Amino acid sequence: MSEPKKLHVALFPWLAFGHIIPFFELAKHIAQRGHNISFISTPRNIQRLPKIPSNLAPLVDLVSLHLPIVKHLPRDAEATSDLPSQKVPYLKIAYDGLQGPLLQFLKTSSPDWIICDFAQYWLPPMASNLGISLAFFSILGAWSVSFFGSSSSAMIKGEDPRSQPEDFTLVPEWIPFPSKVAFKLHEAKRIFQAEVKDSDVGVSDMFRVGSVLAGCDVIAVRSCNELEAEFLRLLGELHGKPCLPIGLLPPDDLDATCSEEDDTWLTIREWLDKQNKGSVVYVAFGSEAELSQPELNELALGLELSELPFFWVLRKQDSSVELPDGFKDRVKGRGIVWTSWVPQLRILGHESVGGFLTHCGYGSVVEALYSGLALIMLPINIIDQGLIARVFGKKKVGVEVTRDESNGSFTKESVADSLRLVMVEKEGEEYRDNAKEMRKLFADKGFHDQYLDHFVEFLQNDH
């Protein structure tokens, strides 16, 4: 019997590090199985990637494509984290300008597969014309993609029967099993506003993802059957093509973020070592979440009111948004506000940390449950974070901070109550225990490797 063919696989993520990093992890996993990789992004993003392990370096080619100059887009902005959210539509226009350079690369390098993201609505016909197989890799769970339409034509042609924000607060009729996957009203309103803004300057996200789903050969999802078998099956049925979970891509190891001797980690660890076991709330909202001044005030005052020790990573804030007067002095010794990069995996894995106040970015949730930490959930951005909060709330590994249904506002009391419930109160024991139990699934690398093996076999057999 002949050896399975060694593949050349190109990966081309959207320009956000919440997308780039999972794509890069998938690239390394495919390379580990002996296949050649072309990882495509822009020069600045390529420079910001984690170091490739020396044993994989010969198999991974980092390909830089230069973004075209676009009006309203700063010259050095190559990722969403480089921009305020209102300028991200211009980054999408620049990204669409990579069609020509990408076509040239694909013509000259002839990969067997290209694995793409949601944004490249123009890529399916390009890949088809060149005879290159196309996989769509969803960094979101199947529950999120399924929620947005019973068919890609609904996304592409705008035929979704849901025309009002209120419609998106209901579980869609095409989900045939019990589910809580739906938006809160304030989230649905923000989605409508964002879609209008995107359409004003370019192409809507719904059109983008619908086009990719319609034109790809296979849907790959960062998930597993043990987490959402019904949604994975449904997603394949909705779009009439194979839908393969690739596992949760749990972190390879803590050293991927920094060494034990890293100065930043030593400083942080020294403070954490002084705290009681399981007593500290880790607070982080990623590098892109934008809190308004009222939200920042209530969040800070809620942390203060909770009387719990906390470590708060506060990044990418508008310079006009400031912490409440006297806040740092009042929480001195009990709470740390850190404004630069931190080794998140090491912090989450420290024995003094007992819970994670999170915006519900999928990567952050995976890392928290990898460490067995219960969640206090405060979705900030639109699209997937609210749905993620519903899913993990139903699984009882965390609670959502109570908000005003119409405008999304929350109070310091609701923040403090949620924190104390999950961290210290008797009735929160269920969440703490369930999170520790879920760690068995999220941290079992051998188990997730089997999903990756199956996916790579599919790429080999179906090319």
pLDDT digits (tens, 9 = 90+) for 181-233: 999 999 998 877 766 655 566 788 888 999 999 999 999 999 999 999 999 99
Same fold, 8-252+444-461 and 263-442: yes
With cut-offs at 50, 70 and 90, classify the pLDDT of residue 257.
low
| Tokens encoding 322 | 């400031």
Give, in degrees to the nearest 5, the angle at Cα 253 between 247 and 259. 155
Give residue 287's pLDDT: 75
- Please check the confidence at residue 156 and state whether its pLDDT lies above 70: no
Neighbours of 34 (CB within 10 A): 12
Give CATH superfamily name and number for 263-442: Glycogen Phosphorylase B; (3.40.50.2000)
Pick the CATH number of 8-252+444-461 from 3.40.50.620, 3.40.50.300, 3.30.830.10, 3.40.50.2000: 3.40.50.2000
The domain segmentation of the chain, as residue ranges, is 8-252+444-461, 263-442
Highest mean pLDDT out of 197-211, 318-332, 355-369: 355-369
What pLDDT band is residue 243 in, cutting at 50, 70 and 90? very high
Q: Which residue has the higher pLDDT, 199 or 143?
A: 143
Residue 325 has pLDDT above 90, yes or no: yes
For the chain, how many residues are written? 463
pLDDT of residue 384: 87
- What is the band of 151 on the pLDDT scale with cuts at 50, 70, 90? low
Identify residue 297 by its one-letter amino acid code.
N
Whether residue 267 has pLDDT greater than 90: yes
Q: What is the DSSP code (8-state) at residue 380?
A: -
In terms of phi and psi (left: phi > 0; alpha: psi -120 to 50; beta: otherwise), the region of 149 is left
Average pLDDT in the chain: 92
* pLDDT of the residue at 226: 96
Three-state secondary structure of 134-190: EEEEECCCHHHHHHCCCCHHHHHHCCCCCCCHHHHHCCCCCCCCCCCCCCCHHHHHH
Confidence of residue 153 (pLDDT cuts 50, 70, 90): low
